[in-house]
């Protein structure tokens, strides 16, 4: 086991986009980054990029859609570090049609695939790694959600997302927010904080060309929640320090 007292952070889907930028920003704070990736070749490219920026990072084979990888990840982290300080559940998919509200024709298959990655995988991975987070002096769990998870805003005419209805994605992130609330409640009184992050509408493969925020800005909420002080919030839903409606 390493005797290094530096914090250890695992970020899923960290080979590109917001995940990679989050790794870069946390790494520049002196945190050791475990780059969770499905594709090791893409992961190697990300690792090289991080190392150019002076970030201490290691690859961790972690396909969030493959439960067999969860136990292997636990064992690898336990063996090398003995603890996990930060878990950022960043990996996610949006496979809905974007041509308008297609709720009535969204297939069960599309719903299941979306929920498998965006909800069930996050719950199962977090449960697997929780014993390592309990060993941290300041455990932090960040669930990458979206403003599109907000039932309040979806139901409010004139809200920024009122006409943005991607049913499978939105509801999977609403379920993820429920996990945040429930887990944070269970972990009250511990050193672990659990929060949901809305990164913003970011210029990534998922965000698309119309997005208004750059990736550097898009990673800031995750970084803030991953590095909260002892008196910071838990069980909340945030964007750049501001609370969002559930």
Q: What is the pLDDT of residues 159-186, one digit of tens each?
A: 999 999 999 999 999 999 999 999 999 9
Contacts 24+ apart (CB under 8 A), 66-69: 67/124
Residue 72 in domain: yes
Q: Has residue 111 been placed in a domain?
A: yes
Whether the per-residue pLDDT at 54 is higher than 60: the answer is: yes
Q: Which residues are catalytic?
A: 169, 173
Longest distance between any two alpha carbons in the chain, whole Å: 55
| Structural domain includes residue 13 | yes
Q: Report yes or no on 2 lying in a domain.
A: no
| Token pair in block for residue 34 | 């475990």
Range of the domain at 136: 8-243
3 domain residue, yes or no:
no
How many domains are contained in the chain?
Answer: 1
Q: What is the CATH number of the domain that holds 149?
A: 3.40.50.720
Contacts of 154 (CB under 8 A, 6+ apart): 148, 161, 162, 165, 170
Residue 190 DSSP code: S
Q: Is residue 69 part of a domain?
A: yes
Distance CA 178, CA 73 (A): 25
Least confident span in 20-29, 90-99, 106-115, 211-220: 211-220
**From 1-15, 19-33, 34-48, 139-153, the region with the lowest mean pLDDT:** 1-15
Q: Is residue 1 part of a domain?
A: no
């Amino acid at each position: 086991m390493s005797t290094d007292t530096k914090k250890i952070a695992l970020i899923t889907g960290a080979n590109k986009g917001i995940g990679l930028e989050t790794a870069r920003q946390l790494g520049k704070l002196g945190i050791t980054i475990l780059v969770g990736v499905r594709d090791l070749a893409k992961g190697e490219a990300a690792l090289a990029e991080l190392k150019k920026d002076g970030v201490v990072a290691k690859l961790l084979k972690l396909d969030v859609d493959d439960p067999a990888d969860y136990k292997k990840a636990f064992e690898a982290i336990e063996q090398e570090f003995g603890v996990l300080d930060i878990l950022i559940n960043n990996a996610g998919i949006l496979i809905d049609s974007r041509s308008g509200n297609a709720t009535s024709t969204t297939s069960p298959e599309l719903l299941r695939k979306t929920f498998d990655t965006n909800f069930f995988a996050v719950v199962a991975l977090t449960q697997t790694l929780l014993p390592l987070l309990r060993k941290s002096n300041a455990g932090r769990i960040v669930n990458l959600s979206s403003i599109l998870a907000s039932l309040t805003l979806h139901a409010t005419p004139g809200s920024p997302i009122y006409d943005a209805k991607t049913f499978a994605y939105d509801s999977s992130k609403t379920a993820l927010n429920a996990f945040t609330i429930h887990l944070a409640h269970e972990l009250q009184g511990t050193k672990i904080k659990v929060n949901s992050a809305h990164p913003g509408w970011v210029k990534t493969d998922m965000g698309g060309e119309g997005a208004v925020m750059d990736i550097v800005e898009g990673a800031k909420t995750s970084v803030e929640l991953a590095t909260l002080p002892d008196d910071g919030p838990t069980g909340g839903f945030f964007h750049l320090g501001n609370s969002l409606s559930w």
